[in-house]
């Protein structure tokens, strides 16, 4: 008797299934692997533990910011005030400590400022109905202006033991700053994937009217998302200040755009509520591995910006083509 | 009856709130500084605003299609840098300007290709090309700054034709050309149509890809022209010279009442938007306010004007709904 061969057992089916799984990975995963492969062949110490740790330490502020940006991209926006928020928080924290505020209190005050900025973004977007792009652009101008004014436009240096503790001190061989990053990723992941709130955040991007009709308080959810993003920006600002051991009113410039790039490279879509923080990790990794590799390979900084831009653009184009073919 | 009709037509004017914002800003400025309303100062404001106007004029067309072009400021910087390098190697100025404009056109067409053909979200596509263009500008300059451009080039930015500064004439002519394109040509009508109802534009047989390409190409061209004027005005070229314009360009368009959703607004609003932004920095300079605080004012003004615009639009719609 012939055994009925079901289609799901056939090697062809398995191949299709495998290729579908592989296709569902965001482009950043492949480009990450490719870059790491190239760099580890071409550069001697690239895969050394100390270099990997320095990559992780450097990417943490961007990673934390990008977690928040993922939420905003899921509701079809881009928070352009995050870089400015980093600027203000790092300057404010150091300045407060310099003026004699206790470290922890200064930290709480600085982070609260970022939370307030996020909350205001949420209110402006949900209550005044401004496009997210414009609301956060305006907020970026305001925060940058405050950062530049209170710092008088220059870096503020203040000796403090905590910088080294955060960036060099470690637990299980991994620097504290990376643990903070991991905690932020985990919390955002859990909120997004395991709570009903997270599920609604995804559908908020797709069809806000239906949610309103179903009795979901979209305004409140929007404010909560922006406030959470503000909180993450505040934490990232403190981490950035620890890493550069000063408060710098322009050190955060560009983070807002890099975080958008990281989120999109990580496969989070502006249209379908698809994606999440796991993909974003790969997006952030791509940007940082590229930066680190170019520096290690002694490529002049003159060429770095063009190369990074081209790779990011290339990845986004590939993603678009792959998605359309599906 | 008649007054209500006038009121109706005023409220239906897209530019009403932009005009009111302009009058408001001018009123406050006059109160703050006596020298604000002097003829010299007004000419200075227009001259300062001219680069911003040129840069944001093509962007207006892109935003009207429902898109965005974030590469304008650095396209301008790239063109300025290439133009400066070519001028230093003693190439004919006309040839240099044509090459500069062509480069802008290429960047614009590339953006249009990404958005129109590959269907990338405009924000993402043009942000990506912005990074590449900035990188190219850095490579062109090799990290250096060029000063002292040829004497026959700088008048484009600082010269006068009679009493009127040449950059003002250039921007005025450009704005007239773009106004004609947007209001009187098929391309203009198609741009508005694509922005207000992309699906309808597609189904009515419009070549939406072609319209998108043309809009972004226009933005690339005006960015190039703005870059040339900017370089001549500074009498220097630097890869980062577009930074200070950054998102101001978008702000000028949006403050001028052009909706980011596309299909509504126009070039004259953008002109007023650019003038408002310039007045804000001018008056703050006149009364000696720290330049750092200027962007605070710009931020607040952007939020408030756009909110007014959205608010008034909603009222108009409600009025229309109640009539029908």
Q: Is residue A1 part of a domain?
A: no
Residue A212 pLDDT more than 70? no
Q: Is residue B102 part of a domain?
A: yes
Chain centre distance of CA A167: 19
Closest residue in A to B121 (Cα–Cα): A270
Q: Is residue B190 part of a domain?
A: yes
Q: Is residue A141 part of a domain?
A: yes
Per-residue pLDDT tens digits for B292-303: 887 788 788 888
Number of domains in chain A: 1
Q: Please, are residues A251 and A89 in contact by the beta-carbon 8 Å criterion?
A: no
Distance from the A154 Cα atom to the nearest Cα atom in chain B, whole angstroms = 12
Give the domain extent around A166. Answer: 31-38+48-325
Contacts of B308 in chain A (CB under 8 A): none
Residue B177 pLDDT more than 60? yes
- The pLDDT score that the predictor gives to residue B4 is 61
Q: Is residue B50 part of a domain?
A: yes
What is the SS3 assignment for B32?
Answer: helix
Q: Is residue B205 part of a domain?
A: yes
Q: Where are the beta strands (DSSP E) in B107-188?
A: 146-147, 160-161, 164-165
Q: Is residue B151 part of a domain?
A: yes
Residue A6 pLDDT level (bands cut at 50, 70, 90): low
Candidates B25, B55, B22; CA nearest to B247 is B55
- The pLDDT score that the predictor gives to residue A176 is 85
Which range has the top average pLDDT, A8-17, A203-212, A260-269?
A260-269
Contacts of B299 in chain A (CB under 8 A): 137-142, 145
Nearest Cβ partner for B124 among A135, A138, A264: A264
Candidates A184, A187, A230; CA nearest to A86 is A230
First and final CA of chain B: distance in angstroms?
Answer: 19
Nearest Cβ partner for B131 among A128, A153, A305: A305
Most B CBs within 10 Å, among A126, A302, A310, A311, to test the B interface: A302
Share of chain B above pLDDT 90, in %: 39
Residue appearing with tokens 């720290």: B290
Closest residue in B to A253 (Cα–Cα): B243
Inform me whether the C-beta atom of residue B241 falls under 8 Å from chain A C-beta atoms.
Answer: no
* Strand pairing category for A174-175 and A170-171: antiparallel
Nearest Cβ partner for A138 among B261, B294, B302: B302
Q: Is residue B307 part of a domain?
A: no
**Per the structure block, which two tokens stand in for B172?**
């005025």
Q: Is residue A4 part of a domain?
A: no
Give the pLDDT mean for B1-28: 69
Distance from the A105 Cα atom to the nearest Cα atom in chain B, whole angstroms = 27
Q: Is residue A277 part of a domain?
A: yes
In B255-284, the residues whose Cβ lies within 8 Å of chain A are 260-261
Q: Is residue A168 part of a domain?
A: yes
Share of chain A above pLDDT 70, in %: 90
> CA B84, B90, B94: angle at the middle one, nearest 5?
75
Inform me whether the C-beta atom of residue B114 falls under 8 Å from chain A C-beta atoms.
Answer: yes
Per-residue pLDDT tens digits for A120-148: 999 998 888 888 888 888 898 889 889 98
Distance from the A303 Cα atom to the nearest Cα atom in chain B, whole angstroms = 6
Contacts of A131 in chain B (CB under 8 A): 260-261, 306
**A82: domain CATH number?**
1.10.3470
Q: Please, are residues B257 and B191 in contact by the beta-carbon 8 Å criterion?
A: no
Mean pLDDT of chain B: 87
Rounded CA-CA distance A257/A237 in Å is 16
Number of domains in chain B: 1
Whether residue B296 and residue A146 make contact (CB cut-off 8 A), yes or no, is yes
- The pLDDT score that the predictor gives to residue B32 is 87
Contacts of B127 in chain A (CB under 8 A): 257, 260-261
Residue appearing with tokens 């997270």: A198
* Helices assigned H by DSSP within chain B: 2-12, 16-32, 39-64, 72-88, 93-112, 122-141, 155-158, 166-184, 186-196, 198-203, 208-234, 248-255, 267-286, 291-323
Which range has the top average pLDDT, A162-176, B181-195, B238-252?
B181-195
Give the domain extent around B174. Answer: 38-244
Residue appearing with tokens 């990997």: A52
Q: Is residue B2 part of a domain?
A: no
Confirm whether the ipTM is greater than 0.90. Answer: no
The lowest-confidence range among A171-180, B84-93, B146-155 is: A171-180
Most B CBs within 10 Å, among A79, A309, A312, to test the B interface: A309
Q: Is residue A68 part of a domain?
A: yes
Residues of A near B (Cβ–Cβ under 8 Å) read: 78, 80, 124, 128-131, 133-135, 137-142, 144-146, 148-149, 153, 257, 260-261, 264, 270-271, 301-310, 312-313, 316-317, 320-321, 324
Whether residue B124 and residue A260 make contact (CB cut-off 8 A), yes or no, is yes
Q: Is residue A174 part of a domain?
A: yes
Q: Is residue B29 part of a domain?
A: no
Residue B254, C-beta contacts closer than 8 angstroms, at least 6 positions apart? A134, B63, B260, B273, B302, B306
Q: Please, are residues B254 and B274 in contact by the beta-carbon 8 Å criterion?
A: no
Share of chain A above pLDDT 90, in %: 21
Per-residue pLDDT tens digits for B253-307: 988 888 877 888 889 989 999 999 899 888 888 888 877 887 788 788 888 877 8
Nearest Cβ partner for B292 among A153, A313, A320: A153
- The pLDDT score that the predictor gives to residue B13 is 54
Q: Please, are residues A70 and A126 in contact by the beta-carbon 8 Å criterion?
A: no
Inform me whether the C-beta atom of residue B244 falls under 8 Å from chain A C-beta atoms.
Answer: no
**Per the structure block, which two tokens stand in for B123?**
């924000």
Rounded CA-CA distance B301/B289 in Å is 16
Q: Is residue A231 part of a domain?
A: yes
Residue B6 pLDDT more than 60? no
């Amino acid at each position: 008797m012939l055994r009925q061969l079901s289609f799901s057992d056939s090697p062809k089916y398995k191949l299709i299934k495998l290729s579908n799984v592989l296709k569902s990975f965001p482009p950043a995963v492949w480009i990450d692997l490719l870059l790491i492969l190239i760099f580890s062949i071409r550069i001697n110490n690239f895969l050394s533990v100390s270099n990997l740790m320095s990559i992780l330490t450097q990417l943490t502020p961007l990673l934390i910011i990008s977690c928040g940006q993922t939420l905003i991209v899921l509701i079809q926006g881009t928070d352009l005030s995050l870089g400015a928020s980093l600027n203000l928080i790092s300057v404010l924290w150091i300045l407060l400590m310099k003026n004699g505020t206790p470290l922890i209190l200064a930290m709480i005050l600085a982070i609260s400022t970022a939370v307030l900025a996020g909350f205001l973004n949420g209110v402006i977007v949900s209550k005044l109905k401004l496009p997210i792009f414009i609301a956060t652009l305006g907020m970026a101008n305001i925060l940058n202006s405050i950062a530049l004014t209170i710092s008088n436009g220059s870096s503020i240096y203040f000796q403090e033991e905590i910088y080294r503790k955060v960036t060099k001190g470690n637990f299980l061989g991994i620097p504290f700053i990376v643990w903070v990053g991991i905690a932020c990723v985990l919390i955002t992941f859990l909120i997004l994937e395991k709570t009903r709130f997270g599920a609604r955040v995804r559908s908020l991007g797709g069809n806000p009217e239906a949610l309103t009709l179903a009795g979901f308080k979209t305004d409140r959810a929007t404010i909560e998302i922006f406030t959470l993003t503000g909180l993450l920006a505040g934490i990232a600002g403190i981490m950035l200040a620890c890493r550069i051991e000063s408060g710098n009113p322009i050190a955060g410039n560009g983070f807002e755009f890099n975080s958008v790039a990281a989120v999109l490279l990580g496969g989070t879509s502006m249209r379908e509520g698809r994606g999440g923080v796991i993909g974003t990790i790969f997006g952030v990794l791509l940007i940082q591995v590229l930066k680190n590799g170019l520096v290690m390979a002694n490529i002049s900084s003159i060429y770095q910006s063009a190369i990074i831009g081209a790779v990011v653009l290339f990845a986004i184009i590939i993603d678009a083509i792959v998605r359309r073919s599906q | 009856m008649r007054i209500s009709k006038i009121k109706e037509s005023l409220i239906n004017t897209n530019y009403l709130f932009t005009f009111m914002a302009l009058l408001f800003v001018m009123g406050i400025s006059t109160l703050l500084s006596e020298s604000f309303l002097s003829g010299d100062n007004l000419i200075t404001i227009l001259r300062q605003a001219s680069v911003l106007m040129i840069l944001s004029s093509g962007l207006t067309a892109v935003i009207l299609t429902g898109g965005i072009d974030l590469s304008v400021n650095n396209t301008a910087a790239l063109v300025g840098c290439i133009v400066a390098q070519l001028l230093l190697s003693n190439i004919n100025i006309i040839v240099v300007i044509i090459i500069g404009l062509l480069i802008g056109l290429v960047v614009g067409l590339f953006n249009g290709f990404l958005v129109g053909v590959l269907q990338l979200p405009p924000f993402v596509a043009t942000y990506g090309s912005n990074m590449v263009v900035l990188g190219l500008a850095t490579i062109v300059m090799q990290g250096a700054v060029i000063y002292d451009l040829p004497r026959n080039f700088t008048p484009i930015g600082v010269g006068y034709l009679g009493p009127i500064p040449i950059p003002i004439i250039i921007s005025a002519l450009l704005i007239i050309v773009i106004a004609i394109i947007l209001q009187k040509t098929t391309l203009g009508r198609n741009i508005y149509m694509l922005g207000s109802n992309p699906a309808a534009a597609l189904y009515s047989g419009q070549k939406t890809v072609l319209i998108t390409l043309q809009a972004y190409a226009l933005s690339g061209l005006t960015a190039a022209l703005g870059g040339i004027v900017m370089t001549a005005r500074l009498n220097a070229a630097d890869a980062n010279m577009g930074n200070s314009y950054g998102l101001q360009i978008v702000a000028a368009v949006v403050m001028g009442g052009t909706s980011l959703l596309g299909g509504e607004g126009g070039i004259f609003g953008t002109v007023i938007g650019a003038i408002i932004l310039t007045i804000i920095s001018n008056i703050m300079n006149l009364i000696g306010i720290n330049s750092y605080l200027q962007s605070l004012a710009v931020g607040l003004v952007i939020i408030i004007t756009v909110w007014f615009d959205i608010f008034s639009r909603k009222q108009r719609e409600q009025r229309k709904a109640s009539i029908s």
